[in-house]
Amino acid sequence: MPDTRETFASRFGVLATMIGVAVGLGNVWRFPYMVGQFGGAIFVGFYVLVVAVVGIPALAAEWTLGRHTRRGTVGAFAKAGLPFGKPIGWFFFAVVMAATAYYTAVIGWVVFHALGSAAALLDVPFDAAAILPPSDGFAGRSFLLQAIFTGLVLVACVVVLLRGLRSGIEATSKFITPALFAVLIVLIVRALTLPGAGEGVRWYLFNVKAGSFGPAVALAAMGQAVFSLALGGTFMVVYGSYLGERENLRLNATLTAIGDTAAGLLAGLAIIPAVFALGGQPGSGPRLIFETLPAVFDRMPAGALFGFLFFASLAGVAYLSAVAALEVLVAGLTDNTRLSRRRAVWLTAGAVFLFSLPPTVNLRVFVPWDLTFGSGMQTLGALVAVVTVGWALARADAIRELGERRLYLWIRYVIPWAIISVGVWWVVTELSS
């Protein structure tokens, strides 16, 4: 019931948790390789714009939906008055299940690479790339390693989830999130002192060529903003249901977006100049931090130490996002069934493990899985959430939660069309090309 739902203990806990959820792999893994694939500075500039005009209001809308209904994905849409809200909630529940599966597998890759860096520090032979799935076909060793480390990540998530919101999720976030920023600063200092790093900085922040902007860049930036801020009518709806009534949603959304975007920009500044300085390719896609970056660390003085710091901190913050994803599923079960939280946690972890197996076969399965559930469905979920707040939830309730009529009108009339227009623009361009 709403009056028994646990809430965050402090403002710092709210921000540490929300930023930790938002940062995850989206900023440190996905953002640098998206920058590399979509033209450097032009992508960065449009991404920051999208976060400001779409991301912050959409984040406030998802928190509004969660706090007002005191429900997660399954239940919030229906309680807010959206037609067919219950089946829509269960649909996004399934989407989160599929997305969490491949995401947890990637965290396993990160943990394995952290062990590889630790082994290098001790001069112990260790092939960190052995866990990566092949481009096609099937590799039994890779598949087994991924299954083992995905299972370990899930068990670690279970430990926190069983402790609840304040003692588990919030307490862990207060430690891990600041640690990530500290490590990124250390890595940036090291990267910028490498000979030739300046070329990477120029390409990353200032290389804007005429005609380089197009629908693909716009859609990629929109998808990355949604992915990075953990939008999608799922994570942030659940965490919004744990926000106290006195929390300022617009202020918290702004601070969360600033922290999240800063993490992405810092990660790019730590990675891309180093890649340029040592002759790597920033456009190498999802394998950028798993193949290109380890090669960079190998050629860098004290590279094993910096590699360990990087992968260990990345594993920590990605872990927070995995905890949030599992919390979406746990809340869906505890809010709508008679399952105890303990049983829901273990059932969810087992189901996610089974769903993690198909995308880890090879990249021909993994990449479409990522694009479908990591960008496409999350963007659709964000659209449904803002439409629910803007058009289904009672106007007075929405304005009271948001604390401002102008923000409500922006969510109602601008954000849905911004998301739809970028998607339509991309589809039309692709069909005509």
pLDDT band at residue 385 under the 50/70/90 scheme:
very high
Q: DSSP secondary structure string, 254-265?
A: HHHHHHHHHHHH
**Mean pLDDT value of segment 128-157:** 94
CA 361, chain centre distance (Å): 22
In the structure, what pLDDT confidence band is assigned to residue 4 with cuts at 50, 70 and 90?
Answer: low
**Sole residue written with tokens 């792999």:** 25
pLDDT of residue 31: 82
DSSP state of 246: T
Whether the per-residue pLDDT at 330 is higher than 80: the answer is: yes
DSSP H helical ranges for 211-340: 215-228, 235-240, 249-277, 293-298, 303-336
Short-list 31, 116, 147, CA closest to 311 = 116
**SS3 sequence of 34-102:** HHHHCCCHHHHHHHHHHHHHHHHHHHHHHHHHHHHHCCCHHHHHHHCCCCCHHHHHHHHHHHHHHHHHH
Averaged pLDDT for residues 330-344: 91
> Quick check: 156 pLDDT over 80?
yes
pLDDT mean over 255-273: 87
Contact 313, 180 (CB under 8 A): yes
Q: Computed over its alpha carbons, how large is the radius of gyration of the chain? A: 21
Q: What is the pLDDT of residues 89-100, one digit of tens each?
A: 999 999 989 989
In this prediction, residue 263 has a pLDDT band, given cuts at 50, 70 and 90, of confident
Please, which residues have CB within 8 angstroms of residue 166's CB and are 6 or more apart in sequence? Answer: 6, 8, 9, 13
For 205-226, write each residue's pLDDT tens digit: 887 775 667 777 887 888 788 8
3-class SS of residue 281: coil
For residue 426, the model assigns a pLDDT of 56
Structural element, H or E, at residue 426: helix 415-432
Q: Phi and psi of 168, rounded to 5°?
A: -105, -75
Q: How far is CA 274 from the centre of its chain?
A: 23
> Does 82 have pLDDT greater than 90?
yes
The pTM for the full model equals 0.85
Q: Which amino acid is at 198?
A: G
Write down the pLDDT at residue 63: 95
Residues 6+ apart with CB under 8 A from 128: 112, 113, 115, 116, 117, 290, 294
Cα dihedral across residues 31, 266, 188, 179: positive or negative:
negative
What rounded mean pLDDT belongs to the chain? Answer: 86
Q: Which of 66-75, 158-167, 296-305, 393-402 has the lowest mean pLDDT?
A: 296-305
Every domain of the chain and the residues it spans: 2-432
* pLDDT of the residue at 3: 45
Residues contacting 392, CB < 8 A, separation 6+: 77, 80, 81, 82, 83, 85
CATH code given to domain 2-432 = 1.10.4160
Q: Place 304 in a pLDDT band, splitting at 50, 70 and 90.
A: confident
Give the model's pLDDT for residue 395: 96
What percent of the chain clears pLDDT 90, i.e. is strictly above it? 36
What number of other Cβ atoms are within 10 A of residue 155's Cβ? 11
| Whole-number percent of the chain with pLDDT over 70 | 93
The answer on pLDDT for 410 being more than 50 is: yes
Q: What is the pLDDT of residue 257?
A: 92
Least confident of 13-27, 143-157, 158-172, 259-273: 13-27
